[in-house]
Amino acid sequence: MKAGVLITGLALAASASAQIRHGHRHGHKERGDNVAYNKQVEVVTATAPNVIVYVDSDGKPISTSGAKASAYHPAPPAYTPAGKTTSAPAAPAYASPKSSSSAKAAPAYSASSSGSGSSSGQGITYSPYNADNSCKSAGQVKSDLAQISGYDLIRLYGSDCNQVANVLAACKTKLFVGVFDINNLQTESNTLIEQAKGSWDRIDTISIGNELVNGGSASVEQVVAAINTARGIFKAAGYTGSIVTVDTFVAMIANPGLCEASDYAAANCHAFFDGSKTADQAGAFVKDQAQRIASACGGKRVVITETGWPSQGETNGVAVPSKANQQTAISSLKSSFSKDIFLFSAFNDMWKTNSASTFGCEQFWGIY
């Protein structure tokens, strides 16, 4: 997990430096024969030809993508890594989006607002990897999930390690699944379809990418094109549920095209990385950002697809990692959201690498 770098030319109510500082990115991984991932920066390196033709919602080809197809170049980071600051963290500059005299006011955000045809209870994220980066077996996955209860949804990030099939077999909970690499869209989609085996009633949502715009891995246009292409792929396979892209709340607010292309606005938001919020303020902070997302996205349903608090690591301003504070933050989040929220994460991710830029807490977000 690392503090995210938002690449955008749009102005928000907050200053650009504050927005970038409060962004956030996770080091999830995906395995495959055609791509290799660096866990810390999630750079995709192609080792075999892999070209995707993107189409718009009408099926018209608009671009192609391969390992070297993108000409999107992120700007240098505008935040100071932890451990190198010379002054206390700046107070948050979050504010409600500037109003427009020509735009209609968005409906007030409500965490309990009903969704459209999708489950909308509280969920939790899960990654099936051992500390040595190997895949967990079906038996290990079943054992893990036996420890988790009280959630309506489980979020997965990819289809490697046979994870979709293993989780479907291990529990009766609905899943929020993902295509990790949009440069490998067709192959990963096919893998997901194969593992689902037609059990589309168990799949609540399919995400196309995770924090791609925030991390500079893809442009808004590339992500939107990938969503449109994915709709055709999964519709042909019999899936009729929600399709979204997930990004940080900062990227979503700055780039409403992401939520416009999605069936609902799906955003990751962590109060810990704000640096000015204590654990008991986590719920209020995330709810405020959900309101900002709803306003930026024209009142669209908002689902917070990651939020939590680390149990170990270094202090970030007034945000202190500890098991007690994690429990306090989780309680605050659950009180603020009766639904439309995914807690991060089920277990500590010891396969990840800690760094100063993530306050040494990358591995320690596990609740169980």
Q: Which residues are catalytic?
A: 306
Do residues 157 and 344 make contact, with C-beta atoms less than 8 angstroms apart? no
Question: What is the distance of C-alpha 125 from the center of its chain?
Answer: 10
Torsion sign (Cα): 180, 308, 162, 194 = negative
Q: Pairing between strand 341-343 and 61-65?
A: unpaired
Buried/exposed 241-250: b ≥16 CB within 10 Å, e otherwise:
bbbbbbbbbb
Give me the DSSP letters along 63-104: EEE-TTT----PPPP-SPPTT--SSPPPPP---PPPP-TTSP
Do residues 282 and 158 make contact, with C-beta atoms less than 8 angstroms apart? no
Query: CA-to-CA distance for 283 and 271, rounded, in angstroms?
Result: 8
Buried/exposed 62-75: b ≥16 CB within 10 Å, e otherwise:
ebebebebbeeeee
Do residues 364 and 320 make contact, with C-beta atoms less than 8 angstroms apart? no
83-92 contacts, C-beta under 8 A, 24 or more apart: 83/314, 83/356, 84/356, 88/317, 89/21, 89/275, 89/276, 89/316, 89/317, 90/17, 90/18, 90/21, 91/276, 92/14, 92/18, 92/22, 92/274, 92/275, 92/276, 92/277
Beta strands in 89-191 (DSSP E): 122-125, 153-155, 174-179
Do residues 352 and 363 make contact, with C-beta atoms less than 8 angstroms apart? yes
Q: What is the DSSP letter of 109?
A: P
